[in-house]
Amino acid sequence: MDIQIQKGWNLEQADSAAELYEEAFGAKFTRAIPDKLKRIAILSKSFVPVFSFAATSGNDIIGIAGFQVSDGSLTGGIGAKKLIQELGFFSGLWACLVFSLFKRQPKARELVMDGIAVDSGFRGQGIGSELLDQIIHYAAENGFDSVRLDVIDSNPRARKLYELKGFVEVSSESFPYLKWLIGFSGSTTMVLKVENIV
Q: What percent of the chain has pLDDT over 70?
A: 91
> What is the reported pLDDT for 104?
78
Q: What CATH number is given to the structural domain containing 50?
A: 3.40.630.30
Closest CA to 25 of 165, 175, 184, 191: 184
Pairs from 117-120 (Cβ < 8 Å, separation ≥ 24): 117/20, 117/21, 117/23, 117/24, 117/25, 117/63, 117/64, 117/65, 118/20, 118/24, 118/55, 118/62, 118/63, 119/20, 119/23, 119/62, 119/63, 120/23
> Using one digit for the tens of pLDDT, what is the confidence trace for 106-164?
888 999 998 899 998 998 899 999 999 999 999 999 999 999 998 877 677 888 889 99
* Structural domain count of the chain: 1
Burial of residue 120, with CB atoms counted within 10 A of its CB: 0-12 exposed, 13-18 middle, 19 or more buried: exposed
Residues of the domain holding 109? 3-196
Residue 41 has pLDDT above 90, yes or no: yes
pTM over 0.85: yes
* pLDDT recorded at residue 176: 59
The mean pLDDT value for 24-38 works out to 87
Q: What is the pLDDT of residue 42?
A: 92
| Lowest-confidence pick of 21-35, 74-88, 150-164, 170-184 | 170-184
Pair 159, 116: CB distance under 8 Å? no
Q: What does pLDDT average to over the chain?
A: 87
